[in-house]
Amino acid sequence: MEEPSPQSYTGRVRDRRTRPIVKVVDRLARGLISFGGVSTIVAVATVCVFLVIVAVPLFLPSRIAEAGGSRIEFDRGGRAIARFDVDEYGAIGWMALEDGSFVAFECDSGRSLGEPRRPFGDAAPTAWSFNPEGADFCVGFADGTVRLGEAAVQVEFIGENQAPEPIRSIPVGAREFHEDALYFHTQPGQFRRHTFAVSLHGPLEVGRDAVRLVGHTVRSDGSVVAALAGETLTINNVVEVRNFLTGEATPTARRTDVPYVPAPEHGAPSRLLVSRLGDQMFVAWEDGYLRRYDTRDTARPSFAQELRLTDEAAGIRLTSLGFLLGRTTLISGDSAGHLRAWFTVADEKGSDGLRLARTRDFAGESAVRAANPSARARWLAAGYADGRVALYHVTSSQTMASVRFGGGAPVDAVAIAARGDRLIATAGDRCRIWAVRPGHPEINLATLFRKVWYEGFPEPRHMWQSSAGVDSFEPKFGLIPLIFSTLKATFYSMLFGLPIALVAAIYTSEFMAPRLKMRVKPIIETMASLPSVVLGFLSALVIAPWIEYRVPRVLTAFVAAPAAGLAFAYLWQLLPVRWSLRLARFRLPAMAAALPVGFWAAWKLGPRVERALFAGNLHRWLDGQIGNAFGGWFLLLFPLCALVAGFVVTFFGGMFLRVFTARWSRAQMALADLARFLLGAVLAFGLTALAAVILTGLGFDPRGSEPYHFLGTYVQRNALVVGFIMGFAIIPIIYTIGEDALSAVPEHLRSASLGAGATPWQTAIRIVIPTAMSGLFSAAMIGLGRAVGETMIVLMAAGNTPVLQMNIFNGFRTLAANIAVELPEAPAGGTHYRTLFLTALVLFAMTFALNTAAESIRLRFRKRAFKL
């Protein structure tokens, strides 16, 4: 359009081209908005993706790979290994050999760290005992003495000026030997020194004969040493007495003989172990026969139990026996390739109230030659006769990884660095080192969702207990108690909130004057934006203490309030038509009056109900101290029986009334209806009482602490309180969405129904509610989603104990509250942290699925309603 356009009326020349700037800006805006929009949506999606990224490593398998320069030769001249260990960093390995010498060597080069130590001189020990998670050891000698000592690689961080001169110049990241020590230059000005040291305490006599076996533990109040010298088994309480003048410590022991009978049919006794606390002592024979002694009182040890660690087949020998972290769980290995975990559990039949039980069994293909636990976690390494080295996590019963020694030479010893990142094994003259990435072996789907047999518990169980004050504590990550609690909170709150929200929505939409509706709806909607922390605080500090001593009244109110409403309705029916029409505007105020009447009745009746059902004191009744099961069954069954009675009376009674009352007047009819209601009430109570009597007579009791017991000990912050206040919290959302769904039902349907002579009630129940059913359902689902994820209310009002009980009077800990309580303390990247992310993901998935289902139902409903 180069030439001027035809004359316009104004005489101005109009440029009909679009100016380039407009086009550019338009394109820019399109680009920017598309980019911004898409990236915002992507950012939102990141939430889910990130949760997955953090949680997924929990399930990745452990990895084991050959470390560089990891094949070394180490000649020990055919001497057997008594102890094989590696330091925390996996840098220095050391072994104690049968002739009493200690040798340390660098793992990567095989170079030895100084000369072999011979702390015992020429005397070769006859028995050894090592602590797998500490430095202490105990040796026995042919002259009937034992000696305690410590052997370990010591690791120190030192500054530049403490480091010896030749070391200072090595570059950062390098390492160097200097005078029996290995130095690492970790960062500028800082060095790490590894030295190997063996120290020894004075000798201690335990018997006259040569010590054949020794076992020990070091406690804060002294050591416990058990020794088998000749045919005498003794247990010794060792206390060090320090001489003030010389500073020399001499051990003194209180010796007690243990009742011991030789068992030659099982071969020679081959192992002796003392648990960490010194409360158990185990003696094992070559064929796997084991005796357990109760040494809780070391002055009076007693025989407690005997059993076989191996299968009863001939020729199977016990090849290894040791402790797992915590020195409570025994790990036995045998020549048939079984690696088994055992620990004591409470058992009334046991002579000391305990029983050693086999809890895990890892089957291998060839004989177990060596097993050594990690010093920081509940996993262990095992070496087999066919050259295989495997890592097992005991609690989660999983094989983490396994590798094979080249050539299949029988493995002599294995060890894991305390940090869990290096594994070292030796077979003959050869040593091999592997880099390990254990990952999170304690977690798998089975430990998360199935019962796990934790140390010290009588049977497998679901448990969540993420931390405790003790070092050897094992975190327990069973999600079932948390998920169960979440469902419990949701169940009780829906039980309270859902009916109220739905009936309120139906009433508002169908029976209320539009002007009043405009006022009422915002009031309830206001509740939706009330911060849940406010509700949580009120429930914990106001409502929970208030309810605690008024439970019978509150329970009665759940029956009395609706009953009062019904009673008022039947009285209202008694009014002549003329009156009831004239008073129609006072119907809602009358309903409002019914509520206080109901509450007043509940207040008055509460103590009577308590006397009748709960022997006058609910709390003691719940503890099971007084009364019988009748009251509990009555309480539990009443809602069900009331529903049944209501159904019977409405259905059959309605039929009867329709057939036989044709000529009755309205007043007669109203009276009949009232009679029907009373009959229904009597029927409900009678049915409940009958059912309760039968169940009580059969010996069932709803009280107790098992998951399926609906009643039990009263805790101030409990499911009743949470159900009440969280039900209250979800009322607005269900109400709003439900009311919207009801209002969306096209008006012409109502008009047609009313025009055909149906009453508003018939229209509501037969036309409107069925049409809006899917909308109401989606309202309920969204309310459910809200209840599942609600945090502050359950955090403050539920007591936060992760127990697995249906008991309405007990506390619980939901997924959301658990995250709020524990995440701030969980170290980033750890198992606990990742498990909490996993729970967040579970919550996310649960609510997202619920909401999506609700949303698609709602959309379909909307489409259908539109079509109508």
Which of residues 235 and 836 has its CB atom nearest to other proteins in the complex?
Answer: 836
Q: Which one among 77, 159, 247, 757 touches other proteins, defined by CB under 8 A?
A: 757
The alpha carbon torsion through 328, 334, 338, 341 (nearest 10 deg) reads -10
Question: Footprint of other proteins on residues 583-622 (CB under 8 A)?
Answer: 587-588, 591-592, 594-595, 598, 607
Q: Is 538 in the site for other proteins (CB under 8 A)?
A: yes
Nearest to 714 by CA among 795, 633, 625, 630: 625
431 Cβ neighbours under 8 A, 6+ residues apart: 71, 72, 73, 74, 93, 107, 110, 424, 425
Compute the least distance from the CB of residue 410 to other proteins, in Å: 46
698 Cβ neighbours under 8 A, 6+ residues apart: none
Q: Is 13 in the site for other proteins (CB under 8 A)?
A: no
Angle between helices 815-822 and 480-506 (to 10 degrees): 120
Which of residues 97 and 815 has its CB atom nearest to other proteins in the complex?
Answer: 815
842 Cβ neighbours under 8 A, 6+ residues apart: 479, 483, 815
Helix (H, G, I), strand (E, B) or coil at 710: coil
Q: Output the DSSP codes for 157-173.
A: EEEGGGS-HHHHTSPTT
Report d(CA 566, CA 590) in Å as an integer: 12
Q: Is 8 in the site for other proteins (CB under 8 A)?
A: no
Tokens of 436: 């390990």
Report d(CA 120, CA 139) in Å as an integer: 10
For the chain, the C-alpha Rg in angstroms (whole number) is 39
Tokens of 15: 């440029």
Question: In sequence order, what are the beta bridge partners of 158?
Answer: 191
Strands 127-130 and 145-159, bridge-based pairing: unpaired
Question: Footprint of other proteins on residues 29-58 (CB under 8 A)?
Answer: 29-30, 32-34, 36-38, 40-41, 43-47, 50-51, 54
Compute the least distance from the CB of residue 64 to other proteins, in Å: 28
Q: Which one among 290, 390, 731, 808 touches other proteins, defined by CB under 8 A?
A: 731
Compute the least distance from the CB of residue 686 to other proteins, in Å: 20
> Please, what's the b/e burial string for 359-370 (b: 16 or more CB within 10 A of its CB; e: otherwise)?
bbebebebbbbb
Report d(CA 101, CA 641) in Å as an integer: 81
> 637-676 mask for other proteins (x: CB under 8 A)?
-----------------x--xx--xxxxxx-xxx-xx---
Q: Is 840 in the site for other proteins (CB under 8 A)?
A: yes
Q: Given the rule CB under 8 A, which of 26-34, 73-81, 101-109, 465-473 is the region that contacts other proteins?
A: 26-34
> 109-138 mask for other proteins (x: CB under 8 A)?
------------------------------
Q: Is 520 in the site for other proteins (CB under 8 A)?
A: yes
- What is the three-state SS of 45-72? HHHHHHHHHHHHHHHCCCEEEEEEEEEE
Q: Is 860 in the site for other proteins (CB under 8 A)?
A: no
- As a residue count, the chain comes to 868
Q: Is 241 in the site for other proteins (CB under 8 A)?
A: no
Strands 249-258 and 269-274, bridge-based pairing: unpaired
Which of residues 173 and 259 has its CB atom nearest to other proteins in the complex?
Answer: 173
Q: Is 556 in the site for other proteins (CB under 8 A)?
A: no
Report d(CA 539, CA 724) in Å as an integer: 9
Which of residues 346 and 592 has its CB atom nearest to other proteins in the complex?
Answer: 592
Tokens of 746: 């096209």
Q: Given the rule CB under 8 A, which of 105-113, 332-340, 393-401, 728-736 is the region that contacts other proteins?
A: 728-736
Helices (H), 698-758: 719-743, 747-755
Q: Is 679 in the site for other proteins (CB under 8 A)?
A: no
Q: Is 235 in the site for other proteins (CB under 8 A)?
A: no
> 476-515 mask for other proteins (x: CB under 8 A)?
-----------------------xxxxxx-xxx--xx---
- What is the three-state SS of 533-551? HHHHHHHHHHHHHHHHCCH
> 392-411 mask for other proteins (x: CB under 8 A)?
--------------------
Q: Which one among 5, 8, 13, 25 touches other proteins, defined by CB under 8 A?
A: 25
Nearest to 140 by CA among 231, 203, 96: 203
334 Cβ neighbours under 8 A, 6+ residues apart: 288, 309, 310, 311, 316, 317, 318, 319, 340, 367, 368
Handedness of CA 385, 386, 387, 391 (dihedral sign): negative
Q: Which one among 199, 706, 856, 864 touches other proteins, defined by CB under 8 A?
A: 856
Question: Footprint of other proteins on residues 768-797 (CB under 8 A)?
Answer: 782, 785-786, 788-792, 795-796
Report d(CA 490, CA 467) in Å as an integer: 26
Count of H helices and E strands in the chain? 21, 31
Q: Is 313 in the site for other proteins (CB under 8 A)?
A: no
Q: How many residues bind other proteins (CB under 8 A)?
A: 129
Q: Is 691 in the site for other proteins (CB under 8 A)?
A: no
CB 377 within 8 A of CB 442: yes
Report d(CA 280, CA 303) in Å as an integer: 10
Q: Given the rule CB under 8 A, which of 272-280, 438-446, 527-535, 632-640 is the region that contacts other proteins?
A: 527-535
Helix (H, G, I), strand (E, B) or coil at 379: strand
Question: Footprint of other proteins on residues 335-394 (CB under 8 A)?
Answer: none
Question: Footprint of other proteins on residues 566-585 (CB under 8 A)?
Answer: 566, 568-570, 572-573, 577
Q: Which one among 15, 26, 156, 459 touches other proteins, defined by CB under 8 A?
A: 26
Q: Given the rule CB under 8 A, which of 2-10, 274-282, 321-329, 761-769 is the region that contacts other proteins?
A: 761-769
Q: Is 174 in the site for other proteins (CB under 8 A)?
A: no
Which of residues 21 and 245 has its CB atom nearest to other proteins in the complex?
Answer: 21
Inter-CA distances, 132 with 376, 397, 795, 852, Å: 10, 21, 41, 53
Q: Given the rule CB under 8 A, which of 79-87, 268-276, 332-340, 817-825 is the region that contacts other proteins?
A: 817-825
Q: Which one among 199, 351, 467, 526 touches other proteins, defined by CB under 8 A?
A: 526
The residue with tokens 């030769």 is 73
Q: Which one among 268, 530, 675, 773 touches other proteins, defined by CB under 8 A?
A: 530
CB 127 within 8 A of CB 273: no
Compute the least distance from the CB of residue 754 to other proteins, in Å: 12
Q: Is 81 in the site for other proteins (CB under 8 A)?
A: no
Question: Footprint of other proteins on residues 134-163 (CB under 8 A)?
Answer: none
Q: Is 541 in the site for other proteins (CB under 8 A)?
A: yes
Which of residues 138 and 838 has its CB atom nearest to other proteins in the complex?
Answer: 838
Q: Is 458 in the site for other proteins (CB under 8 A)?
A: no
Compute the least distance from the CB of residue 832 to other proteins, in Å: 13
Which of residues 263 and 574 has its CB atom nearest to other proteins in the complex?
Answer: 574
Which of residues 374 and 835 has its CB atom nearest to other proteins in the complex?
Answer: 835
Compute the least distance from the CB of residue 367 to other proteins, in Å: 46
Q: Is 222 in the site for other proteins (CB under 8 A)?
A: no
Which of residues 121 and 522 has its CB atom nearest to other proteins in the complex?
Answer: 522
Report d(CA 437, CA 105) in Å as an integer: 23
